[in-house]
Structure 1
């Protein structure tokens, strides 16, 4: 690797590169072919948009839309309009060159590169993630291009020569790139396989949702671990040496990653004991909603207003959690109501029960039940109790519906809903108490005094 930093060696390489360009590129037949390729780019650019629009219309072809692979293939075609037109033009120019007896090796080279890009891009259309698809296409086309040009083996030798020797372990640029490529491919395969297995597991209705999530997470973890181990083995890492770092990793987990590990273990415990599961309606602290998903580190809880809270799994283990659908989805709600003392509480209780029973979400068995809870300072305190079976649909809306029915029923039957009242007692004193009364709208400000002993 020291030769790359030697100025004399760099000068020699530059001279060799210049001599190669002069011998193999700066020739009239080669330059004519390069100019022909550049000229073909102009009509390809002009015809790209019309062809792209025509290829985009194929996405409305209903005969192929039933298959996901065809849908992704049709979605890629508009992006390939330019290379398709360009390769057709170059093949046309190549046919003319053959008929004229001219050299056409550069034309064949460019056409082969374009063909490789088109077929590789179509082949990667089966990948769901567009980022992964384009990345795989670029890497595959790069390797194919080097192979077509004949530079693949020299490039591998050059990258392999850029290496560092650490003891008995040799790290080269080629080895690192090979490990990264292997890791990317293996991770994609592991992720794809885990999604397939997860879909299969979800179809097994004998398994509870918690067990399905647990099996999916464990399977994904195992597949990703295997992918990483295989990637390390491709660069010659001795996997038995990883046992040496086990103690250090354990110490690091104990001090620096204890909260993360606690959340991971808490997530496994939640999945095993099935205390909460996706779809449960829970309340923890000021957060009320239903569980969207159980992750390895956190649990996603979605509230009625659309806000999604990511609650660490450790909080669900250590704090008190209200699970409204743990063993039974039935939930009893309590709504306080007050009536005036002059009203008949027996009749008011009957009206409250009837008002709650009008709501479609309120159960008939057990039906609504209204109790007299006490005699307050300003009202006779009642409490309406009723049951629902869909707490995930919210509490506030059903309570509002019940109270509106109570309001209408009380208005219709002249049941008074009192407001706070206070009695004012004036203690007698030796002096006279003077009271002045005036109208607020009296513009003149005159007042009519009224004095009483």
Structure 2
């Protein structure tokens, strides 16, 4: 058994029937109570909106992380303050248990912050929790060093490199922790960049993708250096990757390059209304490999970036991020055309989404149809990403009410049927 753990259990056994154990239990209980009250107060402050966004983002899952962290700090302070007066075996044991809880909840917070909630994420969190508690149990029981020695004795050779199972586990753990920290930091930077209104939306997406790529590369290189892997061996991997890109991965590489071209030349923006092939909808997301197009019926279409480079793309949104929405209507030949056009212009200008500009509403005569005069009301809106179905429905309803009040008739198809009797035929009775 480890010498430090041996002394710890001896102190706990000696103090078990003394007042020192009682005082330590009282200190632990007081610290847990104070941490719980502080956690509750801070949670209420966050819910009330009295904590700024950055502080709230850093704390994240405050109700799960702040409690063990604050209790651990206070317990460590109490331990070093009281160790000159009494045995502090219980305080040392409690500090190690709280440290394990801090590690588990910190990793869970980072995972939930970086990745979207899913079944595999919850399973991974449980695996991490059990792993940490098993290590803590081995540590406080004194069996951790023998287990580590057994893992170190399992040796094998890869090429000219001699490895053991302990080194592989340490290397894997180092890489995972470094990558999680890098993804967490890049996620924080991404949120700040995407919230900035002073940067163009396309450049924000480019910067977010570059930050994530740089963070992953740096984390990978650092973790490999810490583990002791020769970084020069990546040149072999780079050559193999280049050959793979030249043959089997050329489509994937083409989509990635096309994505950066689209973002940099500002031909498309998030929220634009576009037509690509037979798909018409709103650009919801611009990603490295594909674009997500949300159609007006709510369905989403994933379109590879290469398609938007090679095919014709119709952008219905102007450079000033506004769109023209046509609303066709037909009136009868007996209705007053001047009154109908004036009413349509008033209705279009009165809608809340219409741009308040003299040229934002227009009414034209399209044609003289079989049943009536075809008119078209056109309105310009500043928020095309909100869609047009609801706007058209509201304007049509207003047109129906105003036309009824002003005796403007909306015709329906009519047909004149003439029956010509054949010569010499006797009409039927």
Say yes or no: TM over 0.5. yes
What's the offset of the Cα at 1:76?
A: 4.5
| Alpha-carbon shift at residue 172 of structure 1 (Å) | 2.6
Q: Tell me: CA distance 1:114–1:307, structure 2 relative to 1, closer, same or farther (3 Å).
A: farther
- CA-CA distance at 1:78 after TM superposition: 7.5
* 1:372 paired residue among 361, 365, 370: 365
- Residue 408, structure 1, aligned to residue 388, structure 2: no
- Measure the CA separation in 2 of the matches of 1:390 and 1:410: 28
**d(CA) in 2 for partners of 1:127, 1:65:** 23
Structure 1 residue ranges without an equivalent (≥5): 1-19, 21-28, 37-46, 92-98, 435-450
Could you tell me whether the CA contact under 8 Å between 2:365 and 2:373 is conserved in 1? yes
CA RMSD in angstroms, aligned pairs only:
4.7
Which residue pairs with 1:117 in the alignment?
97
Alpha-carbon deviation of 1:366?
0.3
C-alpha displacement of 1:70:
6.2
Distance 2:211 2:380 in 1: 41
User: Which residue of structure 2 aligns with residue 129 of structure 1?
Assistant: 109
Match among 256, 276, 282 for residue 289 of structure 1: 282
Is 1:215 matched with 2:216? no
C-alpha change, 1:244 and 1:71, in structure 2 (3 Å) is: closer
Q: Give the equivalent residue in structure 2 for 1:157.
A: 149
Q: Give the Cα–Cα distance (whole angstroms) in 1 for the partners of residues 317 and 240 of structure 2.
A: 43
> Following the alignment from structure 1 to structure 2, what is the Cα–Cα distance between the partners of residues 203 and 378?
53
1:393 to 377, 380, 386: 386
Q: 1 CA distance for matches of 2:44 and 2:353?
A: 45
3-state SS of the aligned residue for 1:422? Answer: coil
The answer on whether the counterparts of 1:178 and 1:234 sit within 8 Å (CA) in structure 2 is no
Which residue of 309, 328, 333 corresponds with 1:336?
328
- Look up the match of 1:432: 426
1:124/1:325 CA distance change after superposition, 3 Å: farther
Preserved CA contact (<8 Å) 2:174 2:227: no
CA contact (8 A) 2:279 2:295 kept: no
Q: 3-state DSSP class of the match of 2:425?
A: coil
Q: Residues of 1 paired with 2:231 and 2:36: CA distance?
A: 53
Q: Deviations over 1:365-395 (max 9, x none)?
A: 2053322222222222222233222222321
The equivalent residue for 1:322 is 314
Q: 1:423 to 1:200 in 2, by over 3 A?
A: closer
- Are 1:281 and 1:288, in contact at CA under 8 Å, matched by a contact in 2? yes
Match of 1:257 among 235, 243, 249: 249
Deviations 1:162-200 (A, max 9, x none): 233233133432222112111111102211232343355
1:384 is matched with 377
What is the CA distance between 1:224 and its match in structure 2? Answer: 0.6
Residue 64 of structure 2 is matched in structure 1 by 75
**Preserved CA contact (<8 Å) 2:324 2:379:** yes
Q: Name 2:118's counterpart in structure 1.
A: none
Comparing both chains, which one has the higher relative contact order based on Cα–Cα distances under 8 Å and sequence gaps of 6 or more? 2
How far 1:127 moved relative to its partner?
5.8
CA distance in 2, matches of 1:121, 1:236: 30
Given that residues 160 and 175 in structure 1 are in contact (C-alpha distance below 8 angstroms), is that contact kept between their aligned partners in structure 2?
yes
Tell me how far apart the structure 1 counterparts of residues 37 and 194 of structure 2 sit (CA, whole Å).
Answer: 40
CA-to-partner distance for each residue in 1:118-150, whole Å, 9 max, x for gaps?
134236655672657967776666656655555
CA distance in 1 between partners of 2:191 and 2:336 (Å) = 61
Task: Give the total of aligned pairs.
Answer: 385
TM-score (norm 1): 0.68
Is the CA contact 2:290–2:305 (under 8 Å) kept in the aligned structure 1? yes
* 8 A Cα contact 2:343 2:402, kept in partner: yes
CA distance in 2, matches of 1:150, 1:143: 10
Unpaired segments ≥5 residues, structure 2: 2-9, 18-28, 80-85, 114-124
> For 1:177-188, what aligned pairs fall within 5 Å after superposition?
177-188=169-180
Structure of greater Rg: 1
Give secondary structure in 2 for the equivalent of 1:365.
coil
Closer, same or farther in 2 for the Cα pair 1:235/1:127, shift >3 Å? closer
> Which residue does the alignment assign to 2:23?
none
